[in-house]
Chains A and B, each alone.
Chain A
Amino acid sequence: MDSRSAEDHLRVIRELMERATIYRAISAPAALCCGFLALIVASAALIPGPLQPILRHYFVTVWILVFLLSAVTNSLFLLRSTKDRKVRFPSRRMRTALVAITPAFLVAGALTILLTRNQGSEIFVAVCWIGLYGMALLSTVTFAPRSIALLGWAFVLTSCLCLGLLTQDYLFSFTASRHVTLQGLGYLAMAGTFGFYHIIYGLAVMFYGRHGNG
C-alpha cells in the first residue's frame, strides 16, 4: 500500500464517521412548510383584514400555536424519514438533539412568561425567541450539518442586531414615523426570520442535496 491509498482509506474513514454522526434536526420540507406558515400568519396580521385585530391581540398565543403546528409537521417528516430508513422513531440521534435543544426552549418559555406581563412587549418577545431558537440550533452544532449551523448563526446574529437597535427612543421614532405598532413590528421580525430564513434554508438544502435526515 502506498501513501496515496493510505490517505484515501483515512479519508473514507473520516467521511463515514462524520456521516454516521450527523443529524439534521429540521427537515427541508418541514422548514419550507413552517416558513410559509409563518409568512401567512404574519401577512394576515400586517395586512388589514378580518383576522388582523385578533392576531394582533393574541401575539404570543398565535405564535405558540404556529410553533406547535411546526413541531408536529417537522416530527411527521422526520418520522417518515426514519420509516424509509427502517430505523426506530425517535432515533438515537434525534433523542440527542432533543436533549441539546431543550435548555434553550425552557429559557424561551420562562422569558415569554416574564415579558408578556407587560403591554407592548411583543417585539422583545419576538427577539428573545429568535435568539434562543438560534442558540437551540447551535447547541446541535457538533453533530449537525453546516446548513443548520448557518441557520442558527443567522437567527442569533439577527437577534443581537435587533437587541442593539431596540432602544426606547429608536422604537418610538420608528413606530411613529412608519405607523407601525409594536405588535406589527413583532410580526415583521417573526416573518423575516422564522418565515424567510426557514424558506431559504429549506430551498438551499433541497437544492444542494441531502446530508442524511435521521
Chain B
Amino acid sequence: MAATGMVDFNKLDRTIHEKGRLAIMTLLATRPRWAFPELKTELQMSDGNLVTHLRALHQAGYVAVTKEIVDRPQTSYSMTERGRTAFKAYIETLEEIVKLGRR
C-alpha cells in the first residue's frame, strides 16, 4: 500500500486517472445520457480512441451502453452507479491531495 501523509494513493482509480477516460467520465457525470457523436464532438477525439476508452470504462463497470434505432442506429452511454461512486471517490482523493499540499 502506497500512502503519503494522510492520502492513500491506491485510492486514485487508475481506470479513471487516464486523461481521456477522465474527460469521458466528467461529461457522463453532467447528464444522464450522451450519444457517441456528442461525446466525440465535445472531446475532439478520434472514433478509435473514444471507442477504446469507452470499452475500458464499460469493462470496469463504470459505463452502461445503450443501442437503439431512432431514425438510424445510435449508441449512447451513461454512467453506472458504480461509476458514479468511483468518480466521486476519485475527486475526493484529488481534493485530499490538494489539501495536503496546502498544509
Which residue numbers of A lie inside 8 Å of B, CB to CB? Answer: 1-4, 6-7, 9-10, 12-13, 16-17, 19-21, 85-88, 92
Query: Given A10-B91, A16-B27, A17-B26, A3 and B102 touching (CB < 8 A)?
Result: yes
Query: Given A85-B41, A87-B38, A17 and B98 touching (CB < 8 A)?
Result: no
Please name the 5 residue pairs, one residue from A and one from B, whose CB atoms are nearest each other, closest first.
A3-B101, A6-B97, A86-B37, A6-B94, A85-B41
**Which of chain B's residues has its CB closest to A20's CB?**
B30
Which residue numbers of B lie inside 8 Å of A, CB to CB? Answer: 9, 12, 22-23, 26-27, 29-31, 35, 37-38, 40-42, 91, 94-95, 97-98, 100-102
Chain A residues whose CB sits within 8 angstroms of the CB of B38 once the complex forms? 85-87
User: What are 6 inter-chain pairs, A to B, with CB distance below 8 A?
Assistant: A12-B22, A17-B26, A19-B42, A20-B27, A86-B37, A88-B35
Main secondary structure of the interface of A (DSSP, over half): helix
Q: Distance (Å) between the CB of A163 and the closest chain B CB?
A: 39
A86/B41 in contact, CB under 8 A: yes
Partner of B101, one of A6, A13, A85, A86: A6
**Which of chain B's residues has its CB closest to A16's CB?**
B26
**Which of chain A's residues has its CB closest to B100's CB?**
A3
Q: Given the complex of chains A and B, what is the CA–CA distance between A16 and B9 in angstroms?
A: 24
A17/B37 in contact, CB under 8 A: no
B9/A1 in contact, CB under 8 A: yes
| Most central of B12, B26, B29, B31 by chain A CB within 10 Å | B26
Chain B residues whose CB sits within 8 angstroms of the CB of A12 once the complex forms? 22-23, 26
B101/A4 in contact, CB under 8 A: yes
Q: Distance (Å) between the CB of A127 and the closest chain B CB?
A: 38
**Which of chain A's residues has its CB closest to B33's CB?**
A92
Q: Given the complex of chains A and B, what is the CA–CA distance between A21 and B28 in angstroms?
A: 11
Query: Given A17-B30, A20-B42, A86-B37, A3 and B98 touching (CB < 8 A)?
Result: yes
Chain B residues whose CB sits within 8 angstroms of the CB of A85 once the complex forms? 37-38, 41
Q: Given the complex of chains A and B, what is the CA–CA distance between A17 and B101 in angstroms?
A: 24
Q: Given the complex of chains A and B, what is the CA–CA distance between A13 and B40 in angstroms?
A: 17
A6-B97, A20-B31, A21-B31 are known contacts; what are 14 more A-B pairs with Cβ within 8 Å? A3-B98, A9-B94, A10-B91, A12-B22, A12-B23, A13-B91, A16-B26, A16-B27, A20-B26, A21-B30, A86-B41, A87-B35, A87-B41, A92-B31
Q: Given the complex of chains A and B, what is the CA–CA distance between A191 and B41 in angstroms?
A: 38
**Which of chain B's residues has its CB closest to A9's CB?**
B94
Q: Given the complex of chains A and B, what is the CA–CA distance between A110 and B20 in angstroms?
A: 50
Q: Given the complex of chains A and B, what is the CA–CA distance between A9 and B22 in angstroms?
A: 9
Partner of A10, one of B12, B27, B31, B94: B94
| Most central of A16, A17, A86 by chain B CB within 10 Å | A16
Query: Given A85-B38, A87-B38, A13 and B26 touching (CB < 8 A)?
Result: yes
